[in-house]
Structure 1
Amino acid sequence: MQYTKKIIIDLPLEKTVEFMDSLENLKKWQEGLVQAKVIRGNFGEKGAKTELKYDFGKRKMTLIETILETDMPRLLIAEYTTKNVYNIQRNTFEATQDGKTIWTSESEFKFEGLAMKTFGFLIPGAFKKQSLKYMRDFKNFAENQ
């Protein structure tokens, strides 16, 4: 499953990326995130791995984020893995003429196991909705600092 989401942030590119490229800020805009711990390398740098633990009430989840490529402030490609789900996100950031930032996120999901393949096939909107929610939550966080 592949999809692209885009949002305009009412901040200059440099300020947007400053808020985005901070381990401490993750919990401020990612609902459900209870722990973010770098387990290899330096946060945000190519090859870095970060363990992300989420608590959504009855559902708990641990993701491993691996930075595949970075050319900030313009590009960040990361891989997210958890049991039976593999996701690559290609995030680009573009400055507008009027001092705003366009954040484009291209996501590709792959599922393993019958249950996850079925879930991904039947409810692709859930993944798209969650991606857009986090983008909106980041926008709200960054614009209100």
Structure 2
Amino acid sequence: MKYTTEIVIDLPREEVIRKLDNAENMKHWQKGLVSYKVLSGEPGMEGSKMEMHYKMGKRELVLIETILTRDFPEAFHATYDTKGVHNLQKNFFEETGENQTRWISATKFEFSGFFMKMMAFLMPGAFKKQSLQYMKDFKAFAEEGRSVQES
């Protein structure tokens, strides 16, 4: 499954990248994030791996992030893996004005196992909706300082 989401953030690209590139900020825009820890490599750099723990309702999820490309301020690409799911995200950041940044995220999901393939088949819109929600939550945090922890 492939899709692209995008959002315009009313901040200069350098400020968007600074906020996005700070792992401590993830808790403010990734709802459900409980904890993270670096598994290998230099944090945030190409080749590094990080384990991320989420709690979504009663469900717990562990993702392994592997950074593929770190070419700030233009691009950041990473994979996210969990049981039955491989997710590739290619993120691009474009200056659209003096104080505006367009964040474009090209997402590709690959599923293994019957259950995950059925979820993808039955609810493909749910994946895109979640991706866009993270972008909206980041925009609210970056522009207004609003944290998902407050809701």
Counterpart of 2:134? Answer: 134
Which residue of the partner structure matches residue 76 of structure 1? 76
Deviation at 1:71, TM superposition (A): 0.5
Partner secondary structure for residue 24 of structure 1: helix
Give unpaired runs (5+ residues) of structure 2: 146-151
Cα offset for 1:98?
Answer: 3.3
Once the two structures are superposed, residues 118-142 of structure 1 have per-residue CA deviations (whole angstroms, 9 ceiling, x without a partner) of 1111100110000000000000000
Q: How far apart, in 2, do the equivalents of 1:62 and 1:110 lie? A: 17
Kindly provide the amino acid, as one letter, of the partner of residue 144 in structure 2.
N
1:87-138 CA-to-partner distances (Å, cap 9, x unmatched) read 0000000112232000000000000001111111110011000000000000
CA RMSD of aligned residues (A): 0.8
Matches within 5 A, 1:54-73: 54-73=54-73
Match of 1:38 in 2: 38
Alpha-carbon distance between aligned partners in 2 of 1:31 and 1:129, rounded to the nearest angstrom: 13
Counterpart position of 2:143: 143
Q: Which moved more, 1:84-93 or 1:43-52?
A: 43-52
Aligned to 2:9: 9
Q: What SS is found at the alignment partner of 1:27? A: helix
Secondary structure of 1:131's partner?
helix
TM-score by length of 2: 0.94
Q: Which residue of 1 aligns with 2:19?
A: 19
Alignment correspondent of 2:87: 87
Q: Deviations over 1:26-77 (max 9, x none)?
A: 1111100000111111222100111110011211000000001110111001
2:110 corresponds in structure 1 to 110
TM-score (norm 1): 0.97
- 1:37, 1:138 → 2: CA distance? 21
Corresponding residue SS for 2:66 = strand
Structure 1 segments, 4+ long, off by >2 Å, are none
